[in-house]
A = this chain, B = another copy of it.
Amino acid sequence: SYSVFYKYQPIGLVRKYFGEKIGLYFAWLGLYTQMLIPASLVGVIVFLYGCATVDDNIPSMEICHPRNNITMCPLCDRACSYWKLKEACGTARASHLFDNPATVFFSIFMALWAAMFMEHWKRRQMRLNYEWDLTGFEEEEVSALQLESCIPLLFTEKEKLTCRDRLPAYMTNVVMMLLMIGVTFAIVFGVILYRISTKTALHMSNNPTTRSNVRLTVKTTAAIINLVVILILDEVYGAVARWLTVLEVPKTDKSFEERLIFKTFILKFVNAFTPIIYIAFFRGRLVGRPGSYLYVFESYRMEECAHGGCLMELCIQLSITMLGKQLIQNNLFEIGIPKLKKLIRYIKSKRRSFQEEEREKKLQRYETDHFLEPFAGLTPEYMEMIIQFGFVTLFVASFPLAPLFALLNNIIEIRLDAKKFVAELRRPVAARAKDIGIWYNLLRAVAKVAVIINAFVISFTSDFIPRLVYQYMYSPDGSMHGFVNHTLSYFNVSNFQDGKEPMDPQHQVEMCRYKDYREPPWSNTPYVISKEFWAVLAARLAFVIVFQNVVMLMSDIVDWLIPDIPKDISLQIHKEKILMVELFMKEEQGKIQFIDSMIPCGGKEKRNNHAPIARSRSIPHTHSHTHANNF
C-alpha cells in the first residue's frame, strides 16, 4: 500500500513467500532507496546553494549588466541576425544553479556514495545469507543438491560443442552488437539532423511568430523523438539480445542468464546514454568558427549550444529522459500492460458461455491465479534500476537533483513492484540465490565509469576550469571580473563567407564576438587557436587526471575501511562454529561410547568409516568465511 511508504519492506516475509531470489531483489532495492535519501538530501542542498549564490555570481552578473553591450555573432547562416549578450541573461543565471563549485564537491561525494553503497550491499547480503541460512538448513541442502544436478541438464542431449562450432555464433554476436550500437548512433545522429534542418527551415520562414517559437518547438519535438526512440529501441534490443544469446548456446541456465543480461545491459545502456553523451561532450564543440563553420552534408551548420553553455541543455535532456523513462516505461508499462493483458483475458473469458463463467466462480484460489500474467523474471526490474543508477551517478555533476528524482520514483516503485508480484502476476517459482550475481559486477562497472564521466563533465562541459584558469592566470585583480570578455573572441564581419552573412540590414556591425579561444582578426595569425585555449585545455586534462585518481583512491580507501562482513555476524559465525565443533566432538565421543557399548549388536567397522567423512565436512565452513574475509 502507498500509505506505508516510509516503512521498510518485510524482507523476511517476502523471502518466505517468493524465495531468496526475489527476497534479495527487494532487499537490494530497499538498501538502494535508503541510500538515495542522504544522496538526494545533499543534492538538494547543493542545488539550494546554487540558488542562493546566483546573485553573487560575477560572470552572470556581467552578462545581465544593463550597460553590457557585447554584440554576438549570429547563431545560424543568413536567417539569424546579430544578438546582444544581454539576451542570454536568463540562461546564464539558470546555468549557475548547476555549474558552481559545489557540484564538484557533489560529484566527489556521489562517487564515494557509490563505493559506500557497494560495501553496504556486500554487508547486507552477508547478513541476509547468514540469517536465511540459519532458518533454512534442511530445505537448503536439498535445493542446493537439486540445483547442482539441474544446471547441466539443459543441453545434455546435444553433443559437446567445440570452439570451432561456436565461432560463427560468437562472430554473429560481435557483429550484431556492433551493428545495434551503430543503429543507436545513427538514430541519435538522425535526431541531430532533424533538429538542425527543421531549425533552418523554420528560420527561413517569414512568419515572425513561427520564428520566435523555433527554439521551443524544435527542442520539444526533438526531445520527444529521442524519448520515443529510446523506448522503442529498448524493446527491440531486449529481443535482439535474447536471440543472440540463444545463438551462443551457453552451457548452463546460469550462464545463459548472465550472457543475456550482459548483452541487454550494454545495448540498453548505450541506447539510454548516447544522446546525453552527445550533448555533454560533442555538441557545440564541432561548430568551427565564424567565417568557416562546419557543415554536415554541405548545407547544415552544426548546432551550437544556447547562450548559457551546454550544461543547461544537458540538464534539460537529463531531466526529460529520466522523468520520461521513469514515468512512461516503469510506471505506465509495468503497471498498465499487465492490467491491460488481464483485461483482455477477462474479456476473452466473458465471451465464453455462461456455464463456464458459473464454473469459474467456483474456482479455487490457485485456479483464478492462473489467469494472471506469468512471471517474467527479475531481469527487467534490475535493468531498470541499474539504468537509473547510471543516471544518478554518471552525470550527477551536471544534475544534482537526479538522486531526488530517483528516490521519488523508487518509493513508488518498491510498492508497485510488490503489488505487481503479489496481485498482478502468478506467484513465481521460488528460486534460491546467494547473491545478486552479475548485477553486482555491472553496478561496479557503472560506478567506475561514473568517475571518469564526471571528471569530464566537470572539466569539459561546465565552465569550472576556464573560470579557475582565468582567476589565477589572467585576471588582473584575481577576481572574476572580465571573465566573460576573456572567453569571447573577436570576429571581423567582413570575413564572412559570401552568402553566409546575416540578411538583417538593421545592424551596422563591424566586429561580432563568439565563444571560443582564438586570435583576434588584428593579430598576425587571425582566427588561429590561441595560447589561452591550450592553457585551458591543459588545465582541463590535468583536472581529469587529478579528479579520477583522487576519487579512485578515496573509493579504494572506503572499500578497505568498511569490512565486508558485519562484526556481529562474523562474531556470531565464529561462536557458532566453536559450538558446532564442540557439539560434534561430544556427539562423536558419545557415538564411540554408544557403539562401544553395543559391540555385541555388531557394527564396529561403521565407526572408522563414518568419522573421517563427517569431519571433513566441518572444514569448509571455516574456509568459506576466512575466504570472504580476504576479499
Q: Could you list which residues of chain A lie within 8 angstroms of chain B, going by C-beta atoms?
A: 133, 137-138, 140-141, 144-145, 148-149, 434-435, 437, 440, 452, 530-531, 534-535, 537-538, 541-542, 544-545, 548-549, 574, 577-578, 580-581, 583-584, 587, 590-591, 594, 598, 601, 603, 606, 609-610, 612-624, 626-628, 630-631
How many whole Å from A13's CB to the nearest CB in chain B? 24
Asked if A538 and B545 sit within 8 Å, CB to CB, the answer is no
Main secondary structure of the interface of A (DSSP, over half): helix
A628 vs B434: C-alpha distance when bound (angstroms):
12
Cross-interface CB contact of A144 among B584, B617, B622, cutoff 8 Å: B622
Identify the interface centre among A615, A619, A626, A630: most chain B CB within 10 Å of its CB: A619
Using CB atoms, name the residue of chain B closest to A519.
Answer: B531
Given A541-B541, A601-B598, A620-B615 contact (CB < 8 Å): no
Cross-interface CB contact of A138 among B133, B530, B612, cutoff 8 Å: B612
Asked if B530 and A616 sit within 8 Å, CB to CB, the answer is no
Using CB atoms, name the residue of chain B closest to A584.
Answer: B613
Q: Which residues of B contact A620 (CB under 8 A)?
A: 620-621, 623-624
Cross-interface CB contact of A615 among B137, B534, B578, cutoff 8 Å: B137
- Copies held by the complex: 2
How many whole Å from A541's CB to the nearest CB in chain B? 3
Cross-interface CB contact of A137 among B145, B549, B581, B612, cutoff 8 Å: B612
A535 vs B536: C-alpha distance when bound (angstroms):
10
A206 vs B51: C-alpha distance when bound (angstroms):
71
A612 vs B530: C-alpha distance when bound (angstroms):
79
Q: Which residues of B contact A594 (CB under 8 A)?
A: 603, 606
Cross-interface CB contact of A545 among B149, B545, B574, cutoff 8 Å: B545
- 29 pairs, A vs B, C-beta closer than 8 Å: A137-B615, A141-B618, A144-B619, A149-B578, A434-B623, A434-B630, A435-B630, A437-B630, A440-B630, A452-B549, A530-B531, A534-B537, A541-B541, A541-B545, A545-B545, A580-B613, A584-B613, A587-B610, A587-B613, A590-B606, A591-B606, A598-B603, A617-B617, A617-B618, A617-B621, A620-B623, A620-B624, A624-B627, A631-B631
Cross-interface CB contact of A141 among B434, B580, B619, B630, cutoff 8 Å: B619
Q: Which residues of B contact A606 (CB under 8 A)?
A: 590-591, 594
Q: Which residues of B contact A628 (CB under 8 A)?
A: 627
Asked if B622 and A583 sit within 8 Å, CB to CB, the answer is no
Those 3 A-B pairs whose CB atoms lie nearest each other, nearest first: A534-B534, A624-B624, A541-B541
A138 vs B588: C-alpha distance when bound (angstroms):
14
A452 vs B553: C-alpha distance when bound (angstroms):
12
Using CB atoms, name the residue of chain B closest to A129.
Answer: B623
How many whole Å from A425's CB to the nearest CB in chain B? 28
How many whole Å from A122's CB to the nearest CB in chain B? 11
How many whole Å from A516's CB to the nearest CB in chain B? 15
Q: Which residues of B contact A598 (CB under 8 A)?
A: 598, 601, 603
